[in-house]
Amino acid sequence: MNDLDLLLLVSIGTTAVLFAFGTWRWAGALGTLLYALQLALLAVMRPELPLASGIGFEVLGYRLQWSLSGLGWFFAIITVASALFSAWFAAGEWGQHRRNLRLLHGGLALNVTAMLILLASDDLISLFIGWELVSWASYLAMVQRGGPAMDAAYRYLVYALAGALAVLVAIAMIAAQSPALDFGSVRVWFASAGNGTIWTVMLLTMAGFGVKMGLLPLHLWQPAAYSESPGPIAAFLGAISSRMGLFAIIVVLAQLIGLERLGNLPVAFSFWNANEFWAWLAALTLIVPTFIALTQNDARMLLAWHGIGQGGYMLLGILIATPLGVSGGLMHVINYACYQAALFLAVTAVAHRTGTTDLDHLGGLINRMPLTYVTMLFCIIGLAGLPPMNGFVSKWMIYKALLDAQMPLLFVAAVIGTLGTILSVYKLIHNTFLGQLRLEHAQVNEVPISMWLPMILLALIVFITGWMPGLFLDLVDEAVVAIGITQLPHHLGGVDLGNGGLDMLWIVGVLLAAIGIGAIVYFLGNRSVRVGQFDNYAGGQILTADVPYQYSHQFYAGLLRVIQPWMRGGMAWGERALVSGADFLGGAMSGLYRAAPAGAYLLLAVLAALAVTLL
Amino acid sequence: MNASVLMIALPLLAAFLLPLTGPLARWVGPFAAALNIALGISLWQTVAQEGPSVVVMGGFAAPLGIVFRVDTLAVLFATALAALVLILWPRTSADPRRESALLLILLAAGCGLAFSGDLFNLFVFYELIAVASYGLVAASRERLAAAAGLRYLVLSALGSAFALLGIGLVYALAGTLNLADLSRHADALNSPLGLAAFALMLLGFGVKAELFPVNAWVAEVYSTATARTTALLAGGVSKLALLIVLHLVLLVYAQPAALSLLLTLGLLSIVSGQFAGYRAADLPRMLAYSSIAQLGMIAAAFSVSGEAGVLAGLALALHHLIVKPALFLVGDGWPKCVDSLAGLGRAEPWRAALFVLLALSLLGIPPLPGFWAKLLLLKALLGMGEPAWNLAAAVVLLGTAIEGAYLLRVLQTLFRGTTNAKPATFGGALPAGVLGVALLLVMLAATPVGGALQRAAQQAADVPAYVADTLGGSPQ
């Protein structure tokens, strides 16, 4: 039994233990420890990558085997770490007065197990099995709150099921032609397959895996499904769940078909190739949901919409197919997981104290919940991709790679997406923490240490890895090499490039110095008078504390007036059209059976058959 | 006497002697079914060791005499039917003798159909099954069931008449009804008239095989007959009718036009069944429509020439034989209206969990056995490399997505909210449980089961060997 077998065993054991003892007081803490153990196992097995598991089956002539490559290992680290922080957050006060803790902890562990099985898959069938396990495990995580959560999860599952079937058809297509389905053989098969075949397989698999990733236009299920799940679960799902789709897409596009082949695959009747096609879809995925996020009035929905958009950056980076682009795209996965998990946890913390995530009913919590504020501040800077946080580094790498690869239009698209992100994350922090404190929140306190410590740790990781991106770039290397791309030369502070690199040690140093000088000026020259948060007056008139004076409803009304005409909900319309089409056909078919002049159908069919065959 | 003949003779004998058995009447049927399973297993071992064999009745060799063909496929179907009959045996019945007799006749005829090597015997056994099934459907005390049963009877009788017409045409054209002999004279049937005969037989046998458009009885009967009868019809009888179709396309009508016709009807069954199921508001109807679609998939699989199609159809058929009866049994006793199922997931967690397991396998979620069946089906369809069969793969995809939408709706409803209703009696707990366990066992034993199915398909698809075995290796 090697380390991978041990890891899978521990993970399955974690699931079993947490389902068995989920209602126990210390279940959350136990889960945290078990995830830490899994993380340690992952760290230990790093020198052995790629590591093949001793477990394997042979069914109907197909060998099912599992092996963790550097790519899977990279995603596995993020998965287990996200689960660790989520479980930790839920372990203390947050989980104490909740029902269904068994489902919460067990469901989380089941998700981790399913994801590890997916990440370790080494042939198309084990990939598909892992894929379905992940789909159903995340369904279990989504439905927990009942009511609208169940509707959202149902919508997700219908998408996921249809997508999985598309993947199954693609696998069957390969199985009908290729002698074996292990990744090695499939790679050989792809090398000899014609363009049309590759396009068919690629469209089918992208339709399936794109559902999970939220690739446009398959993203509609995602925001509600994530934000309706319980807080720590939302953090976990938001951080990593969609990235399973990205993982599978990377396996197909980069590992099996090969990015080089992708660039030589023409799109019929156009000057495009497959690579550009997917890159533009990624760009759309990055822009559209980001601007939809801008219009959201619920903090969790806002974050979930961003999750879709950020996935676009990752795919875009990988499709650039240069070491810098691929490293940037993959690094964005881990960076994003850190700040997205922390942001969901921060929003959950606010909801825990105030009972709402409605951005129209929050505000001014900065003094009441300072640590949560710091978490959110650090992480929105990361999400917006500004220095000195880690999100800046990966986005910079993607921008730079786009420019180096002479894709200026995609660069502009990426920048437009970032602009939308900056605007909407400011809305998030402003409506939650800045502005006027609401009277009903006057007595709100900071969350207990069991909740703020994991959040703050994540925020610190976001900062430290922004300062020293080399820490994450080391991990990214494993994945980059596994895809077959040359390793990107890098150091603790950033990357070295022939035409100018990035050294965050220096940038952060300058930034901190500037902040220091600003602080000195501020404290020495401070002439301001501190007033209480309820000490409002306007136009010389004193207002009572219950009059909302500084509030923010319809944030960015002016901007939205400009962009709203473009937001016609075309994709939602398409979805409704599909549903009503199915309803219509359903009605027609059940009418056909219900009318049931049974003998008449038989006679007609016989007549028709005789006419067709004899005439 | 050969075990295959015993598998028919014993249940028939038991059925006729039933009135004489007195207080033992209750046990005669299950005993005969169990005996049949044992015989089936022994036959299985014989076939595995010695290969397929041919049993000649009364000493007249084929093509003149009546022959039984004992191969893996036939043994598999005969044994599976016996097992299904045993599992579904009614434990409490007002009139055990009548029902037992009908079930035993159905069992005997089913075995006969599985083993028969000529078209006329296939038809005779098919009719015997039909008669037994009318009795079983009519046994339900519901008034609606009587009406549905009558319609079923009329449609079935019409279907049989057309099938017989088709068989008559075949005899007129080829001068023989022995399948092996027909296989040698397949050219004689490769004409418009021959194809018309096939169409007549397909539509005639299609009534029981739930093929579009001659399946209008399905939803009505399945939602009114007793759950055990429904389970038997959906699980067992429909597969036997498809077995005749398989024999036809494999041995006699390997021509593209016939295969296209079968594929077309299969695809129409899938589309009509799944969409009607999507709209169905009550559970038995929904399951009935899903059954239509599933049988459509089996028909589509059989329309693929060669071993791949047989293998896929076989896997789908056996999977459906386990899953669908169990689903009908689990749903039996629950409120029929899907919306009224709310909260039952909490009230009866084990029963709901069983439903979930079965539904997931039906959808083809790995690693449940349904997944392998679906993979084999898609692989077989795409392996044909022809546009119509590629389209079929797309139709299967669409149909399953629709099926997922409505089955998930049921699952969702089961676990939504709470119910004040007292837990309904779960009369089918034992048979449904046994079938559920069987499903899990197949999942765990996927490797050997897959191997056995592959051998069966290989043997069945080897037409020259079939002909040589039956006609004594004297190719003309």
Both structure tokens of B213: 């458009």
* DSSP assignment letter at B53: E
Domain map of chain B by residue range? 1-117, 118-462
**Cis peptide leading into residue B335 (ω within 30°):** no
Contact B372 A60 (CB under 8 A): yes
Burial (CB < 10 A; 0-12, 13-18, 19+), residue A531, is exposed
Which residue on chain A is closest to B156 by alpha carbon?
A: A599
Q: Where are the alpha helices (DSSP H) in A60-147?
A: 70-91, 93-96, 101-119, 124-142
Nearest CA in chain A to B379: A172
Answer for the pair A592, B276: CB distance below 8 angstroms, yes or no: yes
Nearest residue to A315 (alpha-carbon basis) of A338, A341, A303, A333:
A333
Could you read off the pLDDT of A110-168 as tens digits, one per residue? Answer: 999 999 999 999 999 999 999 999 999 999 888 888 888 888 999 999 999 999 999 99
> Maximum CA pair distance of chain A?
102
**Residue A249 to residue A218: CA distance in whole angstroms:** 14
Mean pLDDT across A528-539? 70
Q: Answer whether A61 touches B (CB < 8 Å).
A: yes
The verdict on a CB contact (< 8 Å) between A165 and B397 is yes
Residue among A38, A49, A51, A52 nearest A10 (CA): A38
- The whole-angstrom distance between B188's CA and the closest CA on chain A is 15
For residue B151, the chain A residues in CB contact (below 8 A) are 596, 598
Binary contact (B261, A604; C-beta < 8 A): no
Give the pLDDT confidence of A504-518 residue by residue, as tens digits: 898 999 999 999 999
From chain A, the residues in CB contact with B196 under 8 A are 609-610, 613-614
Q: Does A523 touch chain B (CB under 8 A)?
A: no
Question: Positive or negative, the Cα torsion across A225, A166, A576, B343?
Answer: negative
**Tens-place pLDDT, residues A311-368:** 999 999 999 988 999 999 999 999 999 999 999 999 999 999 888 888 888 888 888 8
pLDDT number for residue B28: 84
CB contact under 8 A, A125 and B375: yes
Q: Is A128 on the interface with B (CB under 8 A)?
A: yes
Distance from CA of residue B370 to its chain's centroid? 16
From A569's Cα to the closest Cα of chain B, the distance in A is: 23
Per-residue model confidence (pLDDT) at position A550: 65
For A160, name the nearest residue in chain B, comparing CA atoms only: B401
Q: How far apart are CA A487 and CA A469, in angstroms?
A: 15
ipTM (interface predicted TM): 0.91
Q: Using pLDDT thresholds of 50, 70 and 90, give the confidence band for residue A57.
A: confident
Distance CA A230, CA A237 (A): 10
**For position B51, what pLDDT does the model report?**
83
Closest-CA residue to B324 (of B428, B426, B454): B428
Average pLDDT, chain A: 88
Nearest to A590 among B159, B198, B280 (CB): B280
CA distance A42 to A68: 10
Task: Give the CB-side neighbour count of residue A30, counting CA atoms within 13 A.
Answer: 21
Distance from CA of B18 to the nearest CA of A (A): 36
User: What is the structure's pLDDT at B146?
Assistant: 80
pLDDT tens per residue, range A535-592 = 666 667 766 666 666 667 778 888 888 888 887 778 888 899 999 999 999 999 988 8
Q: Give the closest of A59, A171, A586 to B278, CB-based.
A: A586
Half-sphere exposure of A611 toward its Cβ, with a 13 Å CA cutoff? 6
Among the partner-chain residues A162, A168, A613, the one whose CB lies closest to the CB of B196 is A613
A609 touches chain B (CB under 8 A): yes
By the CB < 8 Å criterion, does A148 face chain B?
A: no
Taking the domains of chain A in order of start, what are their residue ranges? 269-490+497-557, 570-614
Q: Averaged over A87-96, what is the pLDDT?
A: 87
Interchain pair B199, A612: CB under 8 A: yes
- Cβ neighbours of B367 in A, within 8 Å: 129
CB A501, CB A495: distance < 8 Å: yes
Question: Does A194 reach chain B within 8 Å, measured CB to CB?
Answer: no
What is residue B35's three-state secondary structure? helix
Q: What is the mean pLDDT of residues A471-486?
A: 90
Does A569 or A71 have the greater pLDDT score? A71
Question: What's this model's pTM, rounded to 2 decimal places?
Answer: 0.92
Q: Find the DSSP H helices in B238-282.
A: 238-247, 256-279
Q: Compare CB distances from B412 to A154, A585, A594 and report the shortest one's residue.
A: A154
Alpha carbon distances (Å) from A533 to A13, A374, A437, B290, B304: 51, 19, 6, 63, 76
d(CA A28, CA B276): 46
Region at A577 (left for phi over 0; alpha for psi -120 to 50; beta for the rest): alpha
Closest alpha carbon within chain B to A146: B416
Find, among B325, B322, B304, B305, the residue nearest to B229 by Cα: B325
Cα gap A597→A69, rounded to integer Å: 60
Question: Among partner residues A146, A150, A614, which is closest to B193 by beta-carbon distance?
Answer: A614
**Helix, strand, coil percent values for chain A (each to nearest 5):** 75, 5, 20
Confidence of residue A102 (pLDDT cuts 50, 70, 90): confident
Q: How far apart are CA A51 and CA A42, in angstroms?
A: 11
Q: How far is CA B319 from CA B77, B306, B327, in A?
A: 12, 20, 12
Chain A, chain B: beta-carbon pairs less than 8 Å apart: 175
Q: Which of A606, A612, A614 to mutate to test the interface with B (most CBs of B within 10 A)?
A: A606
Q: Give the pLDDT score at A537.
A: 67
For residue B476, the model assigns a pLDDT of 38
- The minimal CB distance from A59 to the residues B372, B396, B404 is found for B372
Q: Is B390 exposed, middle or buried (0-12, 13-18, 19+ CB in 10 A)?
A: middle
> How far off is chain B from A590, nearest CA to CA, in Å?
4
A349, A495 in Cβ contact below 8 A? no
Contacts 24+ apart (CB under 8 A), A463-467: A463/A378, A463/A388, A463/A389, A463/A390, A465/A335, A465/A338, A465/A390, A465/A393, A466/A382, A466/A387, A466/A388, A466/A389, A466/A390, A466/A391, A466/A392, A466/A393, A466/A504, A466/A508, A467/A388, A467/A504, A467/A505, A467/A508
Q: Which residue has the higher pLDDT, A230 or B421?
A: A230
What gap in Å lies between CA B181 and CA B67, rounded to an integer? 11
Per-residue model confidence (pLDDT) at position A376:
93
Angle at B206 between CA B237 and CA B117, to 5 degrees: 65
Inspect the interface and report whether the beta carbons of A583 and B279 lie closer than 8 Å. yes
The minimum CA-CA distance between B357 and chain A, rounded to whole Å, is 12
> What per-residue confidence (pLDDT) applies to B475?
41
Shortest Cα distance from A520 to chain B (angstroms)?
60
Q: How far is A136 from chain B (nearest CA, A)?
A: 9
Cβ of residue A592 closer than 8 Å to a chain B Cβ: yes
Q: In a structure prediction context, what are the per-residue pLDDT tens digits for chain B, which is 476 residues long?
A: 578 888 888 888 888 888 787 777 778 888 899 999 999 999 999 888 888 888 887 666 666 778 888 888 999 999 999 999 999 888 766 667 788 888 999 999 999 999 988 888 899 999 999 989 888 888 767 777 788 888 888 888 999 999 999 999 999 998 888 888 888 888 888 888 889 999 999 999 999 988 888 888 888 888 888 888 899 999 889 999 999 999 999 988 888 889 999 999 999 999 999 999 999 988 999 999 999 999 999 999 999 988 899 999 999 999 999 999 999 999 888 888 888 888 888 888 888 999 999 999 999 998 899 999 999 999 999 988 888 999 999 999 999 999 999 999 999 888 887 776 666 677 788 889 999 999 999 999 989 999 999 999 988 888 888 888 888 754 43
**A152 inside 8 A of chain B by CB:** no
**CB pair distance less than 8 Å for B447 and A57:** yes
- Which of the residues A63, A181, A593 would you substitute to probe the B interface, choosing the one with the greatest number of B C-beta atoms within 10 Å? A593
Q: What is the pLDDT of residue A549?
A: 65
What does each C-alpha distance from B433 to A156, B330, B354, B439 come to in angstroms?
30, 9, 8, 10
Q: Do B155 and A602 touch (CB under 8 A)?
A: yes
End-to-end distance of chain B based on CA atoms, in angstroms?
Answer: 31
Question: In terms of Cα–Cα distance, which of A400, A598, A504 is closest to B150?
Answer: A598
* Alpha-carbon separation of residue B39 from A65, B46, B82, B125 (angstroms): 38, 10, 10, 20
Helix crossing, B192-206 with B143-174: angle to 10°?
Answer: 160
Distance (Å) from the alpha carbon of B281 to chain A's nearest alpha carbon: 11
Q: Report pLDDT digits (tens) over A384-401.
A: 988 889 999 999 999 999
